[in-house]
Amino acid sequence: MSVQHLIAVAVIGPGSGRLGANLAAAVALIGLVLGGLALARSAGRIGSGSGRRGAIVALVAGLFGIALAGLHLATNTGDFGTGSGRAGAIVALAVGLVGLVLGGLTLARSRHAG
């Protein structure tokens, strides 16, 4: 094995393209779950309170997930089916957008209620 081959394996690595997409999807999914819980809390289904704090966290997590997915798509050179994580980043964009919408709905509801 040559030095160039070892460097290429260390830099590229197996599945390294999926890491950014998986991280973006995980952060976006956290935003989606927190947005759903905050919306349920503001509707009075679980707990008490307006869910405002959860809505803000959902907005931040959704936005951060969207930013990570966008960064991954901008820096990714692979195509679909190559293991570069392009499809995962697109899914993370959609999930982050839903989390963002749920957080925004909850904030709008908490403003009208209080």
- Arithmetic mean of pLDDT over the chain: 79
Q: What is the pTM of this model?
A: 0.75
Task: Give per-residue pLDDT as tens, 20-37.
Answer: 888 889 999 999 999 888
Alpha carbons 24 and 74: distance in angstroms, whole number: 13
Task: Give per-residue pLDDT as tens, 68-109.
Answer: 888 888 887 777 777 778 888 899 999 999 999 988 888 888
DSSP of 54-104: HHHHHHHHHHHHHHHHHHHHHH----TTTTS-HHHHHHHHHHHHHHHHHHH
The mean pLDDT of 3-12, rounded to a whole number, is 48
Greater model confidence, 110 or 99 = 99
pLDDT surpasses 60 at 5 = no
